[in-house]
Amino acid sequence: MGILNVTPDSFADAGLHLDPGAAEAAAAEMEASGADLIDVGGESTRPGAGIISPEEEIARIQPVLKRLARAIRVPVSVDTSKAAVAEMALDEGATLVNDVSGLRYDAALAEVAARRRAGLVLMHGRGRSRDMYRDAVYASVAREVRDELQASLDRALAAGVAREAIVLDPGLGFAKRAEHSYAALAALPEFSALGCPLLVGPSRKSFLTAAIGDPHRPAHERDVATAAAVSAAILLGAHIVRVHAVADMVDVVRVADAIRRAADSAAVD
């Protein structure tokens, strides 16, 4: 999943794709590099980010979605927690809604996904972006993230979303300090037991710098560390990885996936 941020304040690529033409070109390049789907977001979810209105979010991403409907063949996802934004995006050709709130912010989002028969990503998190680390307190990361993902899954199913349309995301970096993110990544096999495909998004996130030993490493210089996390995610059961540097990560994904297939084959033998 290639990341296409249409925001002025993203932590990794602030303002690069605000122009719809630039966004279209970036999406086309991701597709040509091997992206299987493109995730378009109009509201930053970095730590400390503020909330914008549905109208502002729509104004940012609707022109981009219109262009992508003509320009690319791979499926388009919309990164939003707002029902009104999701409805518009599905009208413009998106087929997947990526909700970082796990249906905690806008209960109507589940109804939209169910009625439109859209795919739905439910991510684990706590609180809002502006204060997410306040809630980064865990007795057991694996158990608590699993239980809270189960609660999001139950909300979606109760609203009529088909189980086969749902993807779960442990939310690396969201209401998690570095040690919590590594614990959530290591616990992917436990989350697989919930019965849905898993999406993992480690790309360029600050938790990577804890292992690197350089807390000041800028986001665009974290791609090698991202590659290590992407490989681990795939080997531990992830079905989708959400990344910025698609061209580089496609190679990483293919090698990790080959190792995983070989391990599966050996287990059968």
Question: Is-catalytic flag, 176?
Answer: no
CA distances from 263 to 48, 56, 146, 198, 260 (A): 41, 47, 25, 19, 5
Marked catalytic residue, from 126, 146, 222, 242: 242
The active-site residue out of 104, 204, 205, 222 is: 205
Question: What distance in Å separates the CA atoms of residue 102 and residue 76, rounded to the nearest whole number?
Answer: 19
3-state DSSP helix/strand/coil % of the chain, to nearest 5: 50, 10, 40
Residue 90: count of CB within 10 angstroms of its CB: 21
Give dist(CA 186, CA 268) in Å, integer.
Answer: 23
Q: Which helix (H) or strand (E) holds 98?
A: strand 96-99
205 included as an active-site residue? yes
Contact 2, 38 (CB under 8 A): yes
Residues annotated as catalytic are 205, 242
